[in-house]
């Protein structure tokens, strides 16, 4: 008989505890509470993460196609914004104003929308942060002075964008005001 590992023992205990405490009968949710919306895109985008906005729209990362996506569920409109060649955005987050953005090659890993609706994303491949102005449809690049910063989160408050550098043990702030 093989020895019993700690992982196997904990797994068995957790499975048993959960199985004994969860009621296995479920009722269907009313039909009007669940809505699935098709994205009007030329092909599969590999939608990965979403972030909602105050106006009811939804930003999403399109990991397979290398885009930042915008979806307006009120009218069913989808827009794709091409990122740098080889990009594979990983995440999208919601900013303090409830707006959202994605992240990856540029290797965008994370996206953040600031209080002025500018979208920030980390660029692993370019060792930088990018700011996208949706009105001007232009990117601005903020290079880091250290190699392999690996920004995995972006948050902020009015006039400041904070970026923890998981690859260098630094915290960076970009002042925008």
Q: Measure the CA–CA gap between 75 and 55, rounded to whole angstroms.
A: 13
Q: Is the dihedral of CA 122, 123, 127, 132 positive or negative?
A: negative
pLDDT confidence of residue 77: 92
pLDDT of residue 91: 59
Digit-coded pLDDT (tens) for 60-79:
878 788 888 888 888 989 99
- Helix or strand (DSSP H, E) at 17: helix 6-21
- Tally of helices (H runs) and strands (E runs) in the chain: 1, 13
Residue with tokens 């993460």: 49
Where the chain has pLDDT below 70, the residues are: 1-35, 52, 88-108, 125
pTM comes to: 0.47
Domains with residue ranges and CATH for the chain? 45-175 (2.130.10.10)
Nearest Cα neighbor of 88 from 41, 131, 46 is 46
Tell me the average pLDDT of the chain. Answer: 73
- pLDDT given at position 3: 59
- Please give the pLDDT value at position 119: 86
Beta bridge partners of 129: 122, 142
pLDDT in tens, 119-147: 888 877 677 888 888 888 888 888 888 88
Q: Is 61 exposed, middle or buried (0-12, 13-18, 19+ CB in 10 A)?
A: buried
At residue 102, the pLDDT reads: 46
């Amino acid at each position: 008989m093989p020895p019993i590992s700690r992982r196997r023992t904990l797994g068995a205990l957790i499975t048993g505890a959960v199985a004994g405490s969860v009621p296995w009968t479920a009722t269907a949710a009313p039909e009007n509470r669940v809505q699935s919306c098709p994205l009007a895109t030329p092909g599969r985008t590999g939608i990965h993460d979403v972030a909602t906005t105050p106006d009811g729209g939804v930003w999403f990362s399109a990991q397979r196609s290398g885009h930042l996506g915008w979806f307006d569920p009120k009218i069913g409109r989808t827009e794709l914004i091409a990122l740098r060649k080889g990009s594979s955005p990983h995440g999208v987050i919601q900013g303090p104003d409830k707006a959202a953005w994605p992240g990856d090659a540029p290797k965008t890993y994370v996206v953040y929308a600031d209080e002025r609706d500018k979208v920030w994303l980390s660029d692993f491949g370019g060792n930088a942060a990018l700011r996208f102005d949706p009105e001007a449809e232009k990117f601005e690049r903020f290079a880091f002075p250290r190699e392999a910063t690996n920004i995995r989160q972006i948050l902020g408050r009015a006039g400041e964008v904070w970026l923890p550098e998981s690859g260098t043990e630094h915290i960076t702030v970009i002042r925008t005001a």
